[in-house]
């Protein structure tokens, strides 16, 4: 494909994406086809002779699009909605066109320096502590996901707790990680990969009302482990849990970590974006205690997957934990000590030029544009919560500090699960569920850039009328 052919095909692809976005509302949010439908529509092998891009675009329409869950649909309220945007896609397109590998400063100086600057911009935008800024000992890096951020934080914490010994001899069974019972599954996965084992993770109980970690229980667990000769290594606190968006009390947790010398990693994957709004920064009180912190612009900041922003207060600890320098990567810039080599800040060696999409996004929307997106999500969630509270067949299952609303039918687990299944089957909305205090709970996460007040009204109307018919069936008439 020469540059002129690329120009022509590229315009057609951009047109296809623009058409996709402008027709999303009319599509069912989830695929209505049984498993195997897409696979059956694909040939068993590749074509012998090449085909035009138009042929692929045609199959995108007939084979792929009908088999998708449309994560950017205005009625997509599951998990946390995708947050890509025009500028994000364009930045990613440039990154793809450049094909730069940013593993070392020397393999793409602009790739490294733009990333450092974007993470400094973001740290300022969220009001994060000065010690995460690259002008001091700390700094930021883009990871693919919050799961990777938790893994590298765990490795750096092990490095610290073992006095560097784990690098030479691996881990023994004494190192312990702590997170609330509401902590994300990636914490357990990171502990498993790092060699702590599933038993190495201490689940700490939460307050039944707020679902936030109980500091007294954390202290008791750390003290019990110390008494047993174990090594408290890392605490992962969450700002905005996946299940209900609960906020762990960082000021108390941070003070405990400081007292016992335990690494504090703050996982703000979804709710970190809220800190772009000064009125929502209460959620980040105590973040100055963090040794590391991450959030996902791909979850709520108008950036396409994958983009996790991760900071450490002392980059040297992270680099010492992860660096391996073979002869073929040696170069004068690295040896000068004057540059950042991001390969030492992550698990893989190679890395894409992901800072470009952040640069496009931050410049297109500006600070106020990003704040408007967050505020719209928070306001729409509040609008829905008001409707739920005003209908006595429903109840809220947790507070809604951000854009996630957790609720259920008072009638119980079975009717609540049936309600979710029925509204999702219409193809007009997509919600997911969790359990709160053991009870089946519906989650409605606002955040898709296309979702507006009328979509929340529509979703509530659908929930309300579906509950009408469901509860009428449940009530014996004889
Ligand atoms: C979504 C989520 C994660 C995992 O995010 P990825 O970026 O997909 O790995 C981790 N922690 C929390 C609190 C989350 O909500």
For the record, the structure tokens of 462 come out as 């659908």
pLDDT-derived band at 475, boundaries 50, 70, 90: low
For the stretch 1-26, pLDDT in tens is 999 999 999 999 999 999 999 999 99
Report yes or no on 48 lying in a domain: no
Structural domains of the chain, count: 1
Domain containing residue 203: CATH number = 3.40.640.10
For the stretch 340-371, pLDDT in tens is 999 999 999 999 999 999 999 999 999 999 99
CA distances in angstroms from 41 to 10, 31, 45, 67, listed in the order given:
25, 15, 12, 11
147 lines ligand 1 (CB under 6 A): yes
Report yes or no on 478 lying in a domain: no
Name the closest-CA residue to atom 5, ligand 1: 146
- How many angstroms is it from 412 CA to the middle of ligand 1? 29
For the stretch 61-98, pLDDT in tens is 999 999 999 999 999 999 999 999 999 999 999 999 99
| Average pLDDT score over residue span 91-113 | 96
Report yes or no on 294 lying in a domain: yes
What is the atom index within ligand 1 of the atom nearest the CA of 149?
A: 9
- Using alpha carbons, select from 345, 340, 346, 291 the residue that is nearest to residue 313: 291
The mean of the pLDDT values for the chain is: 96
Report yes or no on 469 lying in a domain: no
- How many angstroms is it from 272 CA to the middle of ligand 1? 11
Most ligand 1 atoms within 8 A of CB, residue of 269, 271, 298, 308 to mutate:
269
pLDDT-derived band at 32, boundaries 50, 70, 90: confident
For the stretch 399-428, pLDDT in tens is 999 999 999 999 999 999 999 999 999 999
308 lines ligand 1 (CB under 6 A): yes
Under a CB-based contact definition with an 8 Å cutoff, are residues 218 and 250 in contact?
no
Cβ-based neighbour number of residue 144 at 10 Å: 19
For the record, the structure tokens of 243 come out as 């299940």
Report yes or no on 199 lying in a domain: yes
- How many angstroms is it from 266 CA to the middle of ligand 1? 12
- How many angstroms is it from 79 CA to the middle of ligand 1? 10
- How many angstroms is it from 444 CA to the middle of ligand 1? 17
What is the atom index within ligand 1 of the atom nearest the CA of 147?
A: 9
What is the atom index within ligand 1 of the atom nearest the CA of 306?
A: 7
What range does the domain containing 159 cover? 92-360
Question: What is the CA angle 18-142-115, rounded to 5?
Answer: 85
180 lines ligand 1 (CB under 6 A): no
Q: What is the dihedral of CA 445, 451, 457, 460, to 10 degrees?
A: -30
242 lines ligand 1 (CB under 6 A): yes
Provide, rounded to the nearest whole percent, the portion of the chain with pLDDT above 90. 94
What is the atom index within ligand 1 of the atom nearest the CA of 308?
A: 7
Report yes or no on 76 lying in a domain: no
Report yes or no on 250 lying in a domain: yes
H, E, C per residue of the chain: CCHHHHHHHHHHHHHHHHHHHHCHHHCCCCCCCCCCHHHHHCCCCCCCCCCCHHHHHHHHHHHHHHHCCCCCCCCECCCCCCCCCHHHHHHHHHHHHHCCCCCCHHHCHHHHHHHHHHHHHHHHHHCCCHHHCCCCCCEEEEECCHHHHHHHHHHHHHHHHCCCHHHHHCCCCCEEEEEECCCCHHHHHHHHHHCCCHHHEEEECECCCCCCECHHHHHHHHHHHHHCCCEEEEEEEEECCCCCCCECCHHHHHHHHHHHCCEEEEECCCHHHHHHCHHHHHHHCCHHHCCEEEECHHHHCCCCCCCEEEEECCHHHHHHHHCCCCHHHCCHHHHHCCCCCHHHHCCCCCCCCCHHHHHHHHHHHHHHHHHHHHHHHHHHHHHHHHHHHHCCCEEECCCCCCCEEEEEECCCHHHHHHHHHHHHHCCCCECEEEEECCEEEEEEECCCCCCCHHHHHHHHHHHHHHHHHHHHHHCCCC
Report yes or no on 228 lying in a domain: yes
246 lines ligand 1 (CB under 6 A): no
Name the closest-CA residue to atom 12, ligand 1: 269
Under a CB-based contact definition with an 8 Å cutoff, are residues 212 and 401 in contact?
no
- How many angstroms is it from 178 CA to the middle of ligand 1? 17
- How many angstroms is it from 149 CA to the middle of ligand 1? 10
341 lines ligand 1 (CB under 6 A): no
Question: What is the CA angle 229-235-237, rounded to 5?
Answer: 155
């Amino acid at each position: 494909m020469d540059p002129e052919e690329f120009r022509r095909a590229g315009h057609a692809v951009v047109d296809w994406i623009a058409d996709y976005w402008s027709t999303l509302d009319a599509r069912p949010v989830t695929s209505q086809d049984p498993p195997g439908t897409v696979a059956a529509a694909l040939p068993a092998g590749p074509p012998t002779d090449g085909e035009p891009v138009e042929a692929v675009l045609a199959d995108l329409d007939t084979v792929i699009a009908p088999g998708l869950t449309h994560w950017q649909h205005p009625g997509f309220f599951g998990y946390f909605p995708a947050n890509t945007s025009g500028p994000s896609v364009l930045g990613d397109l440039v990154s793809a066109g450049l094909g730069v590998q940013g593993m070392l400063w020397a393999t793409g100086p602009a790739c490294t320096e733009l990333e450092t600057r974007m993470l400094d911009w973001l740290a300022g935008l969220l009001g994060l502590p000065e010690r995460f800024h690259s002008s001091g000992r700390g700094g930021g890096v883009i990871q693919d996901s919050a799961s990777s951020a938790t893994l590298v934080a765990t490795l750096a914490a092990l490095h610290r707790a073992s006095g560097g010994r784990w690098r030479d001899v691996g881990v023994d069974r004494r190192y312990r990680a702590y997170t609330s019972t509401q902590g994300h599954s990636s914490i357990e996965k990171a502990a498993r990969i790092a060699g702590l084992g599933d038993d190495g993770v201490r689940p700490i109980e939460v307050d039944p009302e707020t679902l936030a970690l109980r500091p007294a229980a954390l202290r008791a667990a750390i003290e019990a482990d110390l008494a047993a000769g174990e090594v408290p290594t890392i605490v992962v606190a969450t700002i905005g849990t996946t299940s209900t968006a609960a906020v762990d009390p960082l000021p108390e947790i941070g003070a405990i970590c400081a007292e016992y010398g335990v690494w504090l990693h703050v996982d703000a994957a979804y709710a970190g974006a809220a800190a772009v709004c000064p009125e929502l920064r209460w959620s980040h009180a105590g973040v100055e205690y963090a040794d590391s912190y991450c959030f996902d612009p791909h979850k709520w900041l108008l950036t396409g997957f994958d983009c996790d922003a991760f900071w450490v207060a002392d980059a040297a600890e992270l680099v010492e934990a992860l660096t391996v320098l073979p002869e073929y990567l040696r170069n004068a810039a690295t040896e000068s000590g004057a540059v950042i080599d991001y390969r030492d800040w992550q698990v893989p060696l190679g890395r894409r030029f992901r800072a470009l999409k952040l640069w496009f996004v931050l410049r297109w929307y500006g600070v106020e544009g990003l704040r408007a997106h967050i505020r719209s999500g928070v306001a729409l969630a509040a609008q829905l919560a008001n409707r739920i509270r005003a209908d006595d067949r429903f109840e809220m299952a947790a507070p809604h500090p951000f854009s996630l609303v957790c609720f259920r039918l008072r009638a119980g687990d079975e009717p609540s699960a049936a309600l979710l299944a029925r509204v999702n089957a219409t193809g007009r909305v997509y919600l997911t569920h969790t359990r709160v205090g053991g009870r089946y709970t519906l989650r409605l996460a606002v955040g898709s850039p296309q979702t507006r007040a009328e979509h929340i009204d529509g979703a509530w109307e659908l929930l309300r009328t579906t509950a009408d018919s469901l509860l009428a069936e449940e009530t014996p008439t004889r």
